[in-house]
Every structure is written in C-alpha cells, then in structure tokens.
Chains A and B, each alone.
Chain A
C-alpha cells in the first residue's frame, strides 16, 4: 500500500498511473500487426493522456476536486473473461479484454485506497477517480457487448 501524506501526492500517484497506462498502450500499438488496431491503441493511449491532463488540473488545496461520485453501470465482463497475453496477432476481442481488465484494476486500486484511508477529503478524491475508471471500463464493455458478443 502506498503511503500518502497529502491529497497532492494522491493526484501525483494517479497521474503517474495514467502515464504508465499510456506507455503500455503505445508499446502494444508497436506490437500489433493491424493498422486498425494500432490506431485504436493510439486512441486508448491518447485518452489516458487526457485523463492525466484532467488530473493535473485538479486543484487540491480547495475542497472541490471536480470529481463527483455517481453510480456507473458495471456489466462485470472484466470479471469473468480470462487474461490475455499480449502478442503481435492480437485481435480486437483481445484488445478490448485487455483494456477493460486494465480499467477494472485501476478502479479497484482507487476503491481499495479509498477504503483504507480515513481522511474524508482524500477518500472522496479516490472515490472520484474510481468512478472515472469505472466509466472507462463501461465504455470498453459496451464495445465488447456490441461488437464481439453480437450473436450473444
């Protein structure tokens, strides 16, 4: 468990996580054979950078973080699909599985952190970040639902 001394440190941690996610997708884009998948992975990467920028703009010395807790639908697809190994001939199904599992991990990380911290302000920041990740996961799950599971 990371130790945080201030809300700013939490934000910095989140920013670093988004940067790592960006780097992961860029690395994957260099690996896959299909142009279409390269483009999609680059989009994923760009979105992670977007999240990073959003986090950078949060002013933590006020009580408002701009992140609000709201209920996000969880289709739980990331829960029961198997882990995918990264490889050059990955398919769209593989990519979506990787992406939703990654978002789920990020959600879980922030939720766990929120549970273990007593400071109400910091807790709220974590919960807000968790909601953001849940939304990203839902987007991938909907895409999986519509295009991969079209006959199911």
Chain B
C-alpha cells in the first residue's frame, strides 16, 4: 500500500530547481571516478603485440591498428598498435576484456578538455597522457572471453608405447575440433610466422563452420602435404599465437590434421578443382622426393608443367618417410599424399640416385628447369676414437632401417649422442625396441635444440638424459662397442653473448657400459652427385646452397630448397621453398 512518503518524495527534487548546477558553481574541483571506472584508455606498448583483437571486437569501429614509430614488426608482434577514436567509443570496455595480453586497460580519468577534435583520436601508450601512470580504472577482469585451456588431445599412455609403433596422438573428434577452433581470435599473427604463410585463421574458421572442403582448399593453397604437417610440423605458429599470452596457444597443428583426416583422398581432385590439367609443354626435373621436392612438384604440375622427380630411395617423402618414426607419422598418410601427386600426373622415378644411376648433366640438359631438394642425409661423425667399431651407428641410418621394417639388434643398453629431434627420435625408437636408453648431451636440457614436446615424450617413455657430457672415446672389445667414456662439462658464459660453451672438467671421466652407440649430432648435404663443372658454379655457405629470394641457386635454371638451403631444417620451411621455387620457375618459363 502506498504511503505518504512515496507520494511526496518525487517533489523533494524541486528544492534543487533554483540552485546552480555543480559544474557551474564548482567547475575546477576534480571528482575522481570510481576505482574501477571505465575512463580513458591506456596501453602497455611493450606488452601489446598488435594482434588487433580489440579492433575486431569493437562494435563502434572506434579502434584502428596503426603503425607507430620505434615499434618494429617481429615474430608474434605485428608492430601495429591500437588508435582509439573518442568520437566513436562508448567505453564499453570490451576491448580491454578481450585483450589477449592484458596490455590494454582504462584509467578512471574521465574529464579531458581540448579545443582540437583531432586530440580525441590517439594511440594509448604512444601519445603520452597524464593518466598513463594512473593505476586505478578498468583492467582485464578475472573471467575471460577466450577460453584459456586448449582441448586435450588424447594420447596413447606412455606405459603402452614400448614394443609398438602405433601412432601416439589419436586426433580430435568433431566436437573437440570445433570447440578448439572456437578459441581463435583470427588475429593472423601466426600467418606471418608460418614459413609457408598458411591461411591459419581461414582453415580454423572452416573447422568452426564444419566446412572441411573449404578447409582442404585453404590448406592446399600453400601446403600440399597437410597430413604430414598436421602431425610433425614444428608449429612455430603456435609459439606466436595471441591466445597463448594468457593461456594455451591454439592447437593449430592438430586442427590442420583434423581437416586433412576428414577428407578422403579420392575426393581431393574434385575438391581442389584439379579435374583436368592443361599442359604447357615445359619440363621440370626435381632431385629428391622430400617435402620441398613434393611441394615444388605439386605447384608446378597443377600449372601444366611436366614434372619428374628422381629419388634414390624406393619411396617418396624424404626424411618424413625415412627419418620420422611411424609413431609420429604413420606411413599410410605419407603414401596417400604422395599417391595424390602421382594421380595428378607427377612422375616419380624411384631407386635412381642422381650421379650414379643418371647423371646430373642429363637431368640438367633435358629439363627447362631443375629443382634440387636433396636434404641433409649425410650424418656428421662424432669424430672420436672408436667410432668405426661394430655397434656404433648413425641415427639417420638406424631410423631408416627401422622405418623400412629391418630388424636392428641394439642390445639392452643404448647411448645416444646429441640433443636434437633426430636424437630424440632415435632414443624413443630405441625405447620401443626395449632398450635402456641414455642420451648424452653436451649442454643443459634447456639448451637442447629438440622440440620441447619431444623432450617431454622422451622423459615420459623413460629415456634418461645425461646433460653436460662430452664423449671422448668409444671403448670396444673385439671390434664391438662395449662402453663410452665421457667427461662432465661446465658451462662457461660466452663473452660475445652467444650460447654458453661446454668446457670439459678435468678429471671428471665417467664410463657408461653400452651395447650400442647412436650418433645424432647433425647432418649435412651430400653434393657427390654434382660434376666439378657444376660444383664450381654452385655457391654454398657452410654446406648450404646459397639461393636468392626465388630459391634460385647461383647455377642457371637450377632452384633449390629444404634442409640443403634453409637453416630451420623443418618440413614446413621445405614446403615453402618448393612453393616459392615453383612460382619463380613459372615466371621464368612462362611469363
């Protein structure tokens, strides 16, 4: 029931009718905003990565990403910073809430007088303001608009892995993939970092929308080996993922694999629109069927080139076929992708080693262009005493034998020398064969060049890593490896700022009894196939061929890519090389 107060109280406001407004009576007294007021924007320029998620979410289009002085574009940072337009902003703070790094905040300042309307378009953090050091105001809240945890990938338990080469990673279901894809902000920082510049936000969107055919088309625009990359890519894209600044980065590699796994190979031609190829009459010879050669072959073939790949081994894939263990990359995936290339007309000449079964000169003369993708297949020796004995193996040939299905007797105790991905593969394969495995690495575990997930996998599977060890002699008995002697190393800082140097500690000798020693310290290219007259014209730097921006070598009409060219030594860089060379060969021969 209504009482008298309810009736009279609205009229009490009339008492203020003749009073002067507070803004006229007391214009200069500051009235601070509430501690969490959404006032003017601030931005921590060092923390900001210019991902543009703030710009995307702004309903009023009040934010533009612009280039600013003294901030350079680098991996994981677009070099752009948000400019805010207060003619449009409604201070809803969604930009702050969604900011992937938490760099964008709002102060609780809300008064700003200026006669120049341009002043109200400014770059927070760059255009200095008096509220820049004001700690109060609105900050990224505890809740998050982007889920921080990635969708778990189901894996085979470490205890189940001994004795089997079945694939460890099971792959996402549709629901899992779509949920993971939902976390992507489509900022595109990953595109710049990916050596092949794949349209990552595009194919993740295709996953989200359930359009696998569009996803496959987007993958093949820049990468004709998505099954391979979806499993073993070094995924540098994930290292720069904006979402990774406040949680787990997107599982980009697994999403790529998800798309490739969904589409049957027999549908590829139709989906990719390669139903007929118009021949252009030009011939390209490719040496080596590794990722760079296969990539060059695909992009050349779909443009009408007659492409022939010369491969020394009996199957294509290069290191991905012979070097990567099948628990990481099942052979049928590789064979299917290579089969698709055969289906569109790429000719494979297997078991033909250039320089032995066919001369380089012949290939050079009968093709309009040549692509060299020979990889790094010649291992560096450890170069210590005793390496010539039985039981001292090289990781590359060990992995090759295992992938070919050969039986390799490694005994019960194995030492691996090295700390890169090849060493990890050798160690994990040796564990699967039931051996007790020790890894001798000269530096600290954190210095290992292997991917962190490989190191993690090795630990999970029981590989014992002995860091800061310098092998000095392989001791044998009757011509067979018996033990390895090593020295412990101390890490001495490099005066010039390089990696700390491992220096042996005198008197720290240790001996490890072993049955097999596997060297995995690195590889180099084998140029034995090149006659001297060509060798003289191909410039190299520390064993890698020098190429220009088109992947052209210093030898006329010869292009090159993959490990024998780039230092990153991964499949995705090789694929990018092949694509770039194919574009350049097309320009050279057809334009």
Contact = CB atoms under 8 A, between A and B. Distances in A.
Interface of A: 33-36, 73-76, 79-82, 84, 89, 91-93, 97, 142, 145-152
Nearest to B386: A82
Interface string B519-550: 01110100110001001101111110000000
A151 B542 contact: no
B442 interface: yes
Given A33-B532, A75-B502, 9 more contacts: A34-B527, A35-B535, A75-B501, A91-B543, A92-B542, A145-B501, A148-B522, A152-B420, A152-B520
Contacts of B385: 80, 82
B417 A35 contact: no
Contact of B442 (A35, A89, A149): A149
B324 interface: no
A34 B535 contact: yes
7 contacts: A33-B535, A35-B536, A76-B503, A76-B504, A80-B473, A92-B543, A147-B542
Given A150-B449, A151-B520, A34 B418 contact: no
Contacts of A89: 528
Contacts of A34: 527, 535, 540
Contacts of A97: 383
B591 interface: no
7 shortest interchain CB distances as A-B pairs: A151-B420, A152-B521, A80-B472, A151-B522, A81-B383, A36-B540, A152-B418
B284 to A, nearest CB: 26
A82 B521 contact: no
A152 B419 contact: yes
Interface string B455-492: 00000000000000011110000000000000000001
B220 to A, nearest CB: 32
Nearest to B522: A151
Contacts of A147: 542
Given A93-B383, A149-B522, A73 B503 contact: yes
A152 B522 contact: yes
Contacts of A151: 418-423, 449, 520-522
B383 A82 contact: yes
B380 interface: yes
Nearest to A94: B383
Given A91-B524, A151-B423, A80 B384 contact: yes
B569 to A, nearest CB: 9
Interface residues of B, number: 42
Given A80-B470, A81-B384, A151-B521, A36 B535 contact: no
B442 A152 contact: yes
B371 interface: no
A148 B417 CA distance: 13
Nearest to B502: A75
In this complex, the member of B417, B522, B527, B528 whose beta carbon has the largest number of chain A beta carbons within 10 angstroms is B522
Contacts of B541: 36
A142 B495 CA distance: 12
Contacts of A145: 501-502
Contacts of B417: 152
Contacts of B524: 91-93
Contacts of B498: 142, 146
Nearest to A36: B540
A150 B522 contact: yes
A32 to B, nearest CB: 11
Contact of B441 (A79, A146, A152): A152
A148 B501 contact: no
B503 A74 contact: yes
A145 B443 CA distance: 11
Contacts of A93: 380-381, 383, 524
Contacts of B492: 73
Contacts of B383: 81-82, 84, 93, 97
Nearest to B521: A152
Interface string B543-585: 1000000000000000000000000000000000000000000
A50 to B, nearest CB: 21
B239 to A, nearest CB: 20
A73 B543 contact: no
Contacts of B540: 34-36
A84 B374 CA distance: 26
Contacts of A91: 524, 543
B469 to A, nearest CB: 10
B539 A35 contact: yes
B582 to A, nearest CB: 27
Contacts of A146: 498-499
Contacts of A36: 539-543
Contacts of A33: 532, 535
Interface string B431-461: 0000000000110000001000000000000
A40 to B, nearest CB: 9
